[in-house]
Amino acid sequence: MINNEAIKLAIEDLELQEIPNYSMTEEKLLDYINMLSDCGFASTPQILQNIVHEMMRDKVKIN
């Protein structure tokens, strides 16, 4: 089970950092995750894979 509160706290911590350490693509992905969280949806691996696929316009491989 995903702990949404822990995820929200981690994202809030990232947003409070003076110089976030992520690229624009990662920032856009975080925006999608925040939007899902605000709507009450858990960001499952499949949902994240679909979002990245949409963003990259290419098939996403899982490591």
Separation between Cα atoms, residue 39 and residue 51, nearest integer Å: 16
Q: For 6-49, what is each residue's pLDDT tens digit?
A: 888 888 887 887 765 667 778 888 888 899 889 998 888 888 88
Separation between Cα atoms, residue 36 and residue 34, nearest integer Å: 5
13 close to 43: Cβ distance less than 8 angstroms: no
What's the pTM? 0.52
pLDDT at 42: 85
